[in-house]
Amino acid sequence: MSIRHHLNYKDGYYKINREERNLAAIFYHTLLLGDNLKLFLDEIGCKFPIVEKEMGIYFEYAYIRDLWSTNTPTNEIKRKLILDLLQPNNRQELEKLSVLDFNTYFGANRTLSTEYIASPGNWSIRYFHKTITDNVEFLKVCKFKWCFNAKPDIVIHTSHDTAVCIEAKFESGEGKYPSTDIEKEIFKNRGIELVGQLSIQKKTMEELLGIQTEYIFLVQRKSINETHKAWTWKEAFAKLDTTNCPYFIKEWLKRSDINQQ
């Protein structure tokens, strides 16, 4: 006897699915059809022109992570990159540390190496909070680390240097950093407030990647945000041509919880 039988549910899963990443994937798929990308960019008032040979749409965007992994810079370049972007007060001290001590200072215990400077995405808050006592410096390092781990749901590159960054939510609200209980306790003990994920996206795109970016927050109901323009799912799909979408997508988009304002 199945759960579906007990609950007398006979419809398709698309009638009840609440996973925001799946809805974001549907939106991604729809943007790739026909003229939908241009229709959407026009609807949100995007000022960036599309450069055909540079345009791309990316799901779970991890540019910094992939650039660090594939560009294979030397330790000297990695260290200089980190220190130039981070601008720590103790830069001169960090410039002189061995690779092992440099990794240890930033708490890269999971990938502790004597040969290679670890990606900031592998730094550990629970360890570097012991070596970085100043709250301003500590928070700066935290934000830098989070940028290396951040993955906006959808990013539309209209060119190599311009983009629209989309964070998609369904029933949940904006995420906060840090997310683990241990790290939250560290922030509480230091008297530091949690950091919104949308502000980290802005830092990632503009400060670290140097990409001129417009920001969209896709939600069920609109709310005010300092960094992102809020659009409802109903508004986002309104101008898009779904004629060539599969049946389940067309039915999904008829749901009342998708069509809220």
Query: Mean pLDDT per 10-residue run, the chain (261 residues)?
Result: 89 92 96 96 96 96 92 87 96 96 92 86 95 97 97 97 95 90 97 96 96 94 73 93 95 88 66
- 98 and 50, same structural domain? no
192 in a domain, yes or no?
Answer: no
Look at residues 15, 27, 28, 30 and name the one whose alpha carbon lies nearest to residue 251. 15
What's the pLDDT score for residue 258? 87
- 78 and 35, same structural domain? no
What's the pLDDT score for residue 60? 95
What's the pLDDT score for residue 221? 80
What's the pLDDT score for residue 225? 65
- 231 and 161, same structural domain? yes
Q: State how many domains the chain has.
A: 2
- 259 and 228, same structural domain? yes
How many CB atoms are located within 10 Å of the residue 255 CB?
14
190 in a domain, yes or no?
Answer: no
What's the pLDDT score for residue 109? 81
196 in a domain, yes or no?
Answer: no
What's the pLDDT score for residue 69? 86
Q: What is the pTM of this model?
A: 0.91
- 260 and 161, same structural domain? yes
Look at residues 53, 58, 23, 32 and name the one whose alpha carbon lies nearest to residue 213. 58
95 in a domain, yes or no?
Answer: yes
What's the pLDDT score for residue 260? 73
Q: How far apart are CA 197 and CA 151, in angstroms?
A: 10
What's the pLDDT score for residue 62? 96
What's the pLDDT score for residue 224? 62
- 111 and 47, same structural domain? no
- 160 and 260, same structural domain? yes
141 in a domain, yes or no?
Answer: yes
139 in a domain, yes or no?
Answer: yes
132 in a domain, yes or no?
Answer: yes
Interior angle at CA 19, CA 15 and CA 25, nearest 5: 95
- 123 and 238, same structural domain? no
186 in a domain, yes or no?
Answer: no
What's the pLDDT score for residue 213? 97
- 26 and 51, same structural domain? yes
How many CB atoms are located within 10 Å of the residue 245 CB?
18
> Domain range holding 41?
11-60+153-177+201-261
- 45 and 25, same structural domain? yes
- 47 and 173, same structural domain? yes
- 27 and 45, same structural domain? yes
Residue type, 52: E
